[in-house]
Every structure is written in C-alpha cells, then in structure tokens.
Structure 1
C-alpha cells in the first residue's frame, strides 16, 4: 500500500494524530508493540519505541521489486513525521551542483539568523537507494529548530540506477560547492559542518575523508548519526539485531538484496570509510549510535579508529534506541529526547567551531534523561 499524498495541513493533522497515539498509556499501546525487547543488561525498550520500530520494520520491502513503493512512502511520510516542528523556520528549495548535474536541496534557516553563521550540510539516509529532501524533513527541521544552526539538506544520486561511487561523488561535489560559495547559503567561511544519518552518515564521513585526502576545504565538524562505516564487516550487533530490528541484514545485503549493487565495492574506503588507511587529521567528530541497531558496533569501531589516530571524537550510544530513531523525533518522545541532545551538541560544536579556540574540545556528558539515552563514551 502506497502512503497517501497529503497537503501541509493534512500532514500536520496526521502528525498530531500519530504523536497523540504514541503518547497513549503503555497498556493501550502494548497490543501494537509486539513482544518485549530487552537489552543485554535486562532493560526493556519503551512500549512507544517498540511500536515505532515495528512500523519501520513492517514498511520494509522484501527486495528491489518493491523499491518504487518504498521510495514513494519515504517521500510522503517525511512531512507527516515532521508535523509542525520548526514552523517558524525560513525554508527554501534550491538546486546545487552534483558531480554529474544539478541536485535538489532545501535550506532551513532559524529565525533571526540574518548574518552569516554556521551551517550544517546534511545528507539523508536510506541505504543509498532511497530517501531525499522530503523524507528527511523531520530530521532537518528538528535539528535546525533545536540547534539554531542553518541546515542544508541535499539529495544525491541513488543506487542501483546510479552505481557507486555516484553517491559519494555527489556528496563531495555538494560540499565543495557550499564551501566555495558560502554566502549563497548564509554560511560563514570556516563554520561549515557536514552530517548525515545511516547511509548519509557514511557520505558525511566520506566528505571529510575526501577533504583530508585532496587538501580541499575540510568540514569544521562532522555529525554521524548511526552511520554505516563498514559494508562487509562482521560485528556482534549485526548478529544480535540483524533481524527484527528495523534493518534485516539479508534483505539489504543478501543475494538480490536492496544494496546488492554496492556489495562488490565493500572494500573501497570511499564506501567502507573505516578501511581508509589514513584518518589522522579528520575534523572533530560526533557519532551517535543506537544500542539496538545492527550498525551500532561498526559506528563505534569507527569512533575508536579515529580516536586512536588522534581525532577529537565524541561517541554517544543511546542504549534503548534503534536504527532510524532520528526520523521519529517529532512524534515520539524517546526519539525526540535523543535527537534533542544531538541538536544541543550541534549548537555547542558549531559555536566552538566558529570561535577563536584552538585544539580539541571535550564534550561534557549530558544529563541522562533515561528512556532510551545511554552514555557519552
């Protein structure tokens, strides 16, 4: 079933209904949440979060034959999940040059941001095969509204129609354009960061690696939300959460899976960024992982790889959350608490990036709000 297309008012109404439903008492939600889910230390995933996780899992297709439906649902679902978040933002659509032609982008500007200031260039997740400006409306609106930092959301060519490295080539081209013409986006030179979630986190990391490798203008800071960093690696979290936890490993990387076209390139460091032999000198990096995410361990291994090379890294695990939680921040409070903390880190880091301070910075551990939050590692 394809999600209906709704106007702005209809999307806000649908969002309010979903938010209200997820705020119902746990006994009323439990029939829709499936069986209890526990972490290794015995803590139980909150019932509303289990409902969200099941919604994501049930929306996933079994293979490429359902990709068109999945893309349509992803695009139409974004405004619904965003709801009324950030309604006072100035939002404008534009095009930016990719590696092979123009790409769609959307700029979110907080009220009062008239002077040039920090900018976060954000690349959407979706396994390199789906997603775009519309699907990530909730994430980018939330980050811009809660951080006070401009956010530029940019598309890139999707697989399998566009083979690797089209995705990373586009991300690099977009970022180079922004740093080459910062005034167009209200950005101050030297205060332009890069970020993304999942596959978009992979692309954000690839942008930082490219700048280090080529000597082009580097990001001031890098934000990686449950990033993919090692396509073919073996990790305990993949074995533990590779089925029934949003990302079904076989559906994605198995024979005929959704990202089968990328698998032959799995050892390319532009795709599996953890394999890059030289990471010393990368910009300060914040990495958020979910405790119940198959990608958890590769994200954390990447953090340790950078830390060992002397990179300033903050690693934050949200123990009771799962892959994709950022997209539900506007409608589910546990997801919102986590992305709210990430937005606060954007505000802090970008203020530091624009100051005269030199040397690595150390983030202070946020007060643990519970219900899905973990610790700064």
Structure 2
C-alpha cells in the first residue's frame, strides 16, 4: 500500500508536564515503587492529577465464570445511544504490578462517552502475587469472554477493539497477535497508548529518561522483577510483543506516545514494524509530555481530549477538532500505510 504521512502542527505540553510533576513532588512521588500496598491500585499522588470523568455513562460490574480465577470486568456504556455498540476491551497500565479499575475509571468514562463504544475494563491479576503469565492469561480470557458474549453485552463484533496503556498496551498488542490462532476473538483494531512492547534491552529513550520524569529505569526494573522473576521469561513473546518475528495480518493500530517517556522509542518502533508489515497504523506523539500526562485532566483536560479525539477519528466514531501531531520521522521504508499525526 502507499505510504501516507500527514504533516501538521505539533503541540507542546512542556508547561503542563512541569505543573503535573510539581503536584507529584508535593506528594513525594516521582516514580519510586510504592511503600504502602494500598497505593498500588491508585496512588494518591496520581489521583490528585485526575478529575472525575463524565457522569452520562452507565457503569456496571460483572464477574466472569472460570477456573482457576474468575475475572472482574467493569463495563462503561454511554447513555442515549443505540443498544448495539462497537466494543473496546481495555487493559490498564502499571507494569503488571500497579493500577487497577479505579486508576483509569475517569479516563474510560470519557473514552466511552466520546468514542460511543461500550468499554470493558479488565481487572487482571497483578504481580508479585501473580507472576507471568497471569496477566496475559487473564487478558486473553477476558477478550475471549467479551467477544463470545457480544450478543448478551450488545456489542457489534464487526467493530471490536483491544486497547491499553503502558504494560496494558503490551497486553493488548499480544492479544492482537494471538487473535484467531490462540484465542477465540478477532479484534478489528488495537489502540496502544505509551505501549511497553519489550522489557530488554533498553532503547535510546529508556536510557535518555532513565531518571524520569516520573517513570524511571528503577521503577521499570522493579516491575520487571515482580512480574518476570524468571530471566528466560523476559524475552517471551507473550511478555514482549515487540520481539515478534512477524507482524503480518495484524489488526489496524493506533499508537500514541509521549515525548518525555522512556517507553517512547519502543512504541514508535512497534508502529514502524507494523507499517512495514503492511498494517494500517496511525501514530501520534504528545510533544513535551511525560508518561502520565494524558491522564492528568486536573492539569489540562485538553491533552486527554486530543488523545480521545485521535482515537475516535481512527475508530470512525468521531472527529478531532484539533490539528494532528506530526512526529516528523522518516517512514519511507514502510510497506503499509502509516499516518504520522
């Protein structure tokens, strides 16, 4: 297919990053591992950056049957829309150690409201209590369950998205790679926000931002030790989708990265690899943004609106009022269609 790279204005969120990091400093939190286990699901410092999401959303919780462990799924349905909706299964970030249903609640309310998707948030098992492959096993099981019960959930299976951020985006990428061959579900799109697609070796951005802001090499290593204590597992393709040898035939992808994020390069390399394999990829970089800025609606809600607007446009369920962002990379080798917004 013909390569298409769109040039456009690049927004700069450096000021917002500075303000958000100052808030984290007030809580004494700049990317270190939590000392209080109660903060693993939603650190108060991160919570201080987030405003509540829209309330025009119906939120329900279901428990899937299964052995050895049932899964808790939180379902977000926008009100005042047709019953049959596109579906989006979401895996939160946190290195497969941190985060949970509540950490991403406000964002997923907004995502459901503005994309007109039925969003399913997955409460997958976390390390160190549950090491690899617990998280990806749960991600696959949840995706299969939602896809197979689409009729009951009023989901249109012809428009079925897997999505996530950070390590959760890595889970979504693995699910997309396993579709049809290892799991009974067929995603039609994948949304990867600040995706963690490998654990080793370190990329240039991991080395450049090893000391932060916020997400540090020490925190990434701590998560890796918790989730992947077996050294051999750190190169397993079910833990590191960026190491896959082939990306042919995967679902179209939307990849969003942050300028000041250690995970930036592996996300953009993954977008490039997909495009070379012929996958339709949309790439969007938030300039001047650190890893969590898109969640920080208490600082500047425009950042999240841009992210959701780009996703909505890629999913064909909305338009973005803002000019697209262009990373300015050379994708001349891409055999697929990679739009760099």
TM range (shorter): 0.7 to 0.9
Q: Which residue of 2 aligns with 1:356?
A: none
Which SS does the other structure have where 2:225 is aligned? Answer: coil
What is the match of residue 28 of structure 1? none
Q: State the distance in 2 between where 1:89 and 1:364 align.
A: 20
- Take 1:188 and 1:269, find their aligned partners in 2: how far apart are those partners? 29
* 1:248 matched residue in structure 2: 216
**CA RMSD of the aligned region, Å?**
2.8
Compare the two structures and name the one with the higher helix fraction: 1
Q: Indicate how the Cα distance of structure 1 residues 327 and 195 shifts in structure 2: closer, same or farther if over 3 A, else same.
A: same
- Candidates 86, 93, 107, aligned match of 1:139: 107
Q: Spell out, residue by residue over 1:50-81, the C-alpha distance to the aligned partner (whole angstroms, 9 max, x if none).
A: 121344474257447x1504315438965982
Structure 1 195/277 Cα, relative in aligned 2: closer, same or farther at 3 Å? same
Q: 2:174 aligns with which of 166, 185, 206?
A: 206
TM normalised by structure 2 equals 0.83
Question: 1 or 2 for the larger relative contact order (CA 8 Å, sep ≥6)?
Answer: 2
2:298 maps to which residue? 331
Structure 1 partner of 2:135: 167
Displacement after TM superposition at 1:92 (Å): 1.2
1:59 aligns to 2:14 (yes or no): no
* Structure 1 SS opposite 2:191: strand
> In structure 1, which of residues 342, 345, 348 is the aligned counterpart of residue 313 of structure 2?
348
TM-score by length of 1: 0.76
Indicate how the Cα distance of structure 1 residues 292 and 60 shifts in structure 2: closer, same or farther if over 3 A, else same.
closer
Gaps in structure 1 of 5+ consecutive residues: 1-42, 353-362
User: Paired residue for 1:220?
Assistant: 188
Match of 1:87 among 55, 62, 67: 55
Is the partner of 1:289 in helix, strand or coil? strand
Which stretch has the larger CA shift, 293-302 or 316-325? Answer: 316-325
Gaps of 5+ in 2: 1-10, 329-338
Question: In the alignment, which of 252, 257, 262 is matched to residue 289 of structure 1?
Answer: 257
Pairs within 5 Å for 1:1-377? 46-56=14-24, 58-59=28-29, 62-63=32-33, 66=35, 68-71=37-40, 73-74=42-43, 78=47, 81-83=50-52, 85-97=53-65, 100-214=68-182, 216-253=184-221, 257-261=222-226, 262=228, 264=231, 265-328=233-296, 330-333=297-300, 336-351=301-316, 367-368=322-323, 377=340
